[in-house]
Copies of this chain bind each other. A is one copy, B any other.
Amino acid sequence: MRLTCTISDPASWRTSVLRNPNMEKLKKGYLFPEIGIKHEEHLKKYPHAKVISLGIGDTTEPIPKIVTSAMAEYALALSTPEGYQGYGPEKGHKNLRKAIADKVYSGMGIKESEVFISDGAQCDIARLQMLFGSNVTIAVQDPTFPGYVDNGVIMGQTGKADDGGKYAGIEYMRCAPENAFFPDLSRVRRTDVIFFCSPNNPTGHVASREQLRQLVDFARRNGSIVVFDSAYSSYVSACSGAPRSIYEIPGAREVAIEVSSFSKFAGFTGVRLGWAVVPDELLYSDGSPVARDFDRIVCTCFNGASSIAQAGGLACLSEEGSAAIQGVIGVYKENARVLVETFESLGKEVHGGANSPYVWVRFPGRRSWDVFAEILEKTHVITVPGSGFGPGGEGFIRVSAFGSKDRVLEACERLKSFLA
C-alpha cells in the first residue's frame, strides 16, 4: 500500500480526536507560567528595568558544597564499572528512604518502606490524583497551592468553574485572617480527600497542633484521607510549637498521606527531589492498602527520581549537610522578617513570614491582579496575585522571601516609596 492521501493544507488539517473535556475546564494557564509570561512582557516593555522577582517561590541561594559534592561524586562514579548503576528501585534508594524515615520523621514511627522518593511534591500530587481517580470528592483550603485543584480537574473530579473561579464539586475551605486561617470544620462538607498544606502556600500560616488535631479528628470521623503537604516544614520555627508533620498527631497514620520536598528545604527546585509517605494502616473502604495501589502508580507512571538527585538528598540529611542547609533557610527567614517589617511599617495587614518563606499582604477592596500589575509597573517587583490561589485569595498578594538579601532589601525600599 502506498501513501495515497493528499497531504492537505497544514493549516486546515485536524485529527478527529476529541479534546479531553477536562482540559477544556481548566483555566487558561497554570498560575506560575502565567506569572512568567507577565514577567517577560514587562521586560519587553522596560528592557532596562532591574526586575526583582518575589513571585514564583524559586530558591536563589547556592546549595551547600557538601551536597553538590555528593552529587558530583555520584555522577562521576557513573563512568566507572564499580560506580555505574542503572535503574534504581522505582520508590527510591533504600538508604535515602531510611534517612528520611529516621531523620525527618524521628520518633513518629514512619518506616523506610512507607517512604516513596519522587521528583517533587507537585509531581506526587499529580500521581496521587491519578491514584484516587475521577470518582472521589476533594476539599482544599482556600486559598491554596493550585496544583491540588488543577490536577483534580484534569482527572475529572469536578464540574466547570463558576465566574468566581470555583469548580463545581470541590469543597473550598475558606482560610482567612478572620478564622485564624483554619476552617470551621463543623460547616465543611465531607469529602473523600482533603488537601491540606501547612505551612500554607500562599498565606504562610502554619497550623497549630490543636488545628491539626481537629483536622485528623474530622478525617477520622468522616473516613476521609488527608493529603498533608509539608513542603515548607523546614521553615517552622521551633518556638512556634507547631507540628512539622501530620504524623505528630495521634491517629494520623490511619488517615493521612504526607507529601514533601527537597525544593524549598535544600534549594532543589531545579535538581528535583521529594517524597511521599503512605502509612501501612491507610486503607480503602474495601480494606485494601492505599500504599499498594500507590506503589503500582509509581512503578507504572514513574520510574524513580534521578539517582544523582537522590545522592544529593542523602547528603542533605547528614549531620553536616543539615547544618549547612539550616544556614540557607536562615537567609530566607531573615528576608521574610524584613518583608513583614516593611509592610507593617507601611500600615499594611501582613500574615505569614514567621514560619514560612511567604508573606501574605492584604489590599482591602482591591483586586489582586490589579495590585500585582500596579506593583510591577511602578516598582519592577514581581509578586503573585492572591486570587491565583483560589477565590479566597482575592484582595491579597503573596510576596516570596526567596531572593538574595540585597535584592530583597532593594525590593523593600522600592515598595516603601511606592506604598508610602
- A residues in contact (CB < 8 Å) with B: 1-5, 7, 10, 13-23, 26, 29-30, 32-33, 56, 58-65, 67-69, 71-73, 75-81, 83-88, 90, 119-120, 122-123, 126, 130-136, 147, 150-151, 154-156, 185, 192-193, 213-214, 216-217, 219-225, 250-251, 253-255, 267, 269-272, 281-288, 293, 296-297, 299-309, 312, 402, 404
Q: Is the CB–CB distance between B300 and A150 below 8 Å?
A: yes
Q: Is the CB–CB distance between A17 and B270 below 8 Å?
A: no
Q: Out of B23, B33, B88, which one reaches A270, CB within 8 Å? A: B88
Q: Which residues on the B side are within 8 Å of A303 (C-beta)?
A: 119-120, 122-123, 272
A12 to B73, CA, bound (A): 47
Q: Out of B79, B147, B312, which one reaches A62, CB within 8 Å? A: B79
Q: Is the CB–CB distance between A133 and B87 below 8 Å?
A: no
Closest B residue to A73 by CB, please name it.
B72
Closest B residue to A153 by CB, please name it.
B300
Q: Is the CB–CB distance between A296 and B26 below 8 Å?
A: yes
Q: Which residues on the B side are within 8 Å of A18 (C-beta)?
A: 135-136, 192, 284-286
Least Cβ–Cβ distance between A280 and chain B, in angstroms: 9
Q: Is the CB–CB distance between B130 and A156 below 8 Å?
A: no
A240 to B22, CA, bound (A): 43
Q: Is the CB–CB distance between B225 and A32 below 8 Å?
A: no
A71 to B70, CA, bound (A): 12
With contacts A7-B251, A20-B133, A300-B30 taken as known, whether A15 is within 8 angstroms of B283 at the C-beta atoms is yes
Q: Which residues on the B side are within 8 Å of A255 (C-beta)?
A: 15
Known: A17-B223, A23-B131. 15 other contacts (CB 8 A): A1-B217, A10-B281, A13-B281, A15-B192, A17-B224, A23-B296, A60-B86, A62-B78, A68-B76, A84-B267, A86-B270, A119-B306, A123-B303, A154-B300, A272-B305
Least Cβ–Cβ distance between A5 and chain B, in angstroms: 5
With contacts A122-B303, A254-B13, A306-B271 taken as known, whether A23 is within 8 angstroms of B75 at the C-beta atoms is no
Q: Is the CB–CB distance between A29 and B296 below 8 Å?
A: yes
Q: Which residues on the B side are within 8 Å of A134 (C-beta)?
A: 134, 156
Q: Which residues on the B side are within 8 Å of A64 (C-beta)?
A: 79
Q: Out of B20, B62, B302, which one reaches A84, CB within 8 Å? A: B62
Q: Which residues on the B side are within 8 Å of A305 (C-beta)?
A: 272, 306
Q: Which residues on the B side are within 8 Å of A224 (C-beta)?
A: 15-17
A151 to B251, CA, bound (A): 33
Q: Which residues on the B side are within 8 Å of A15 (C-beta)?
A: 192, 219, 223-225, 254-255, 282-285
Q: Is the CB–CB distance between B84 and A61 below 8 Å?
A: yes
Q: Is the CB–CB distance between A151 and B213 below 8 Å?
A: no
With contacts A18-B285, A156-B133 taken as known, whether A5 is within 8 angstroms of B251 at the C-beta atoms is yes
Q: Is the CB–CB distance between B56 and A87 below 8 Å?
A: yes
Q: Which residues on the B side are within 8 Å of A86 (C-beta)?
A: 58-60, 267, 269-270, 402
Q: Out of B33, B73, B135, which one reaches A299, CB within 8 Å? A: B33
Q: Which residues on the B side are within 8 Å of A221 (C-beta)?
A: 5
Q: Is the CB–CB distance between A87 and B16 below 8 Å?
A: no
Q: Which residues on the B side are within 8 Å of A60 (C-beta)?
A: 84, 86
A270 to B88, CA, bound (A): 6
Q: Is the CB–CB distance between A306 and B270 below 8 Å?
A: yes
Q: Which residues on the B side are within 8 Å of A271 (C-beta)?
A: 78, 306-308
Q: Which residues on the B side are within 8 Å of A33 (C-beta)?
A: 90, 299
A296 to B299, CA, bound (A): 24
